[in-house]
Structure 1
Amino acid sequence: MTTLRIATFNVNGLRARLAILLEWLQRETPDIVCLQELKTADAQFPADTLRDAGYGVIWHGQAAWNGVAILAKGMQPLEVRRGLPGDAQDSHSRYLEAAAHGVIVGCLYLPNGNPQPGPKFDYKLAWFERLIAHAADLHASGHPVVLAGDYNVVPTDLDIYNPRSWHKDALLQPESRACYQRLLAQGWVDALRERHPDEAIYTFWDYFREHWPRNAGLRIDHLLLSAGLKKRLRAAGVDRWVRDLPHASDHAPTWVELAMSARRS
C-alpha cells in the first residue's frame, strides 16, 4: 500500500501567488492538487513553470476571475470533463474533471452567491443543482472519486467562528446548506469532518478585521470522497502555515491522505 495525498487550494490569483504555490508544492509534495480562482486566462497560465516543478497540469482559465486547474505529480492528468453538464450557456470556468493516480478528481469552484437574495444567489443554487446531478452519476459509477474545491458553503455552525456575523451571507443560507447535505446523502464522505468530527477547523480567513490573527475562520474548502474511499481515508488537514505567508491567499490548502494500492495509473 502507498499513500496518496490530494489537496485543494483556492489561490485567489495564480500569477500573484505563484511563488507561494511553488513553495507549498516543494514542501508538502501533494500527489494531486485542485486549484481554484486562478484569475488567469488560458494563454497566461504558467504551465511550464508547474511542469518544471514536477507536475503535469490541465487548466480551464478565465481572465480576471474564476478558473480551475488540476495538477498531478509525476504524470499528466487525463482530462475527463471541462465544465458541468446541464447549461450550455454557462461561460464560467468553474469545473474540471480528470483521472490521475488511480482516482477521478472533480475540481470545483462553486459560485459565491452574494448578494442574496438576487440573481447571483439564484445562479449559485442552479449551479449547485447541476453539481448534485453530476455527482450522483459519478457516485453511481463505482469509480473512486474525490470532489475537491471551494464550495462556498459553511455546512454547519461548527464550521464558522461566529455564525451571527454572517447570518445574511450566501455561504450560510439554509438553501446552500441543504444542497450540501443533499450531496452527502448520495453517499459522499466529508473527509475533513470525518477525521475531525468535533473540531472547529477552518480553511478560509478573510482579509478584514484581523480574522487570520484571531483565527476567525470558516470551513468552505471541502474534499468529498465516494463511499468506497471511506475505508482508505487515513488523514485530513489544513496547511495553515501557507495562510501566514506574506501576501497569502485568504484560503489555506486543505488535503486528504488515502491508502492506495502500490501501483497507480
Structure 2
Amino acid sequence: MAYPIPEAENSAEAAFSKSYSSMGTFQKHRGRLLLERVEVADGATVLDLGCGTGAMIRDLQKAVGASGRVIGIDPDAWRLQLARAGIDQEAAAVRFIEAVATDLRGVADETVDLVFSNYVLHWVLDIPAMLAELFRVLRPGGQFVCKCVGDPIPETVEMFSLVPGGAKVASERTFLTDAQWRHHFTNSGLSLEWIDRVAALVDFPDLNTAFSWLASSSNGGFDPAKLDTADRQWLEAKYAAQVTFSINEVEFLLTKPAGINQRP
C-alpha cells in the first residue's frame, strides 16, 4: 500500500516546507514500524542517529519512560533547532548534539542502550567508521536498530539525471547488498540478529511536491529550475497523475555482545 503525501500549496516556499514535513510524516510512519520491532526498557538511554527535525523524538521519549534519556544526533544545526522545539518537556530528558555518524563526540563510551536510526544510513559513506563509533558508545548487550533506503530509487535516479550535476549527487549514497552489510557487521564486532528487505511506496500528488522533496532531501542537490523545458514537459507527461516512488528498504538489528569491550 502506498503512503500518501499531502498536496503542496502553489508557492515554491510553501511546497518546499510542506513536502519536507510531509516526507517527515512518511518517515515517522516507517520509524514507528521499526521501533515496534525492538524492546526498549524503562529507564533506557536511546540515541537517535540522524534525528533530523525530531520526527521520532517524542516516540523515543515515550519508549524510555520518564526516567530514561534520549540523545538526538544530527549534523545540521537548523534541523536540531526545530527538533528542540518539538520535544515533550514533561517526558524523558533529551539532549541534542551536532555531530556526524562517524564521530559521535560528546557521547561517552558504553553509555547507550539502543541506537535507533531511521532513513539515514544511505547518506553515510563510511560504514565501518560509523559502526566503530556505535560499538564504542553501546553498552555490552546494547543494540542498534536501523531502517534505510536499500537500493537507488528508480524515479529519483531518473529525475536527478536530468539536472546538471544531479547524477553525481544521486551517486553519493551508500547502497549495499545483504552480503556487504553482513561483511561490515562481522568486522565491527556487533552481532547480527536479523536483516530484512521491505518494499514501500510513497505517493506524491504532483511533480512540484516530488521536486520539493528531492530538493530538500538532497540539500539543494536537485534543482528543478535547472531542468530543460523539454525534459520538464516529458516528466509532466509521464507523471501526469500521481507520482509514486518505489523504495526498497533494508532494516536490521545488531547487538553488542555482553562482556565484549573491544572490537576484534
TM-score, normalising length from structure 2? 0.37
Normalized per residue, the structure richer in helix is: 2
Structure 1 or 2, whichever has the larger Rg, is 2
Question: TM-score, normalising length from structure 1?
Answer: 0.37
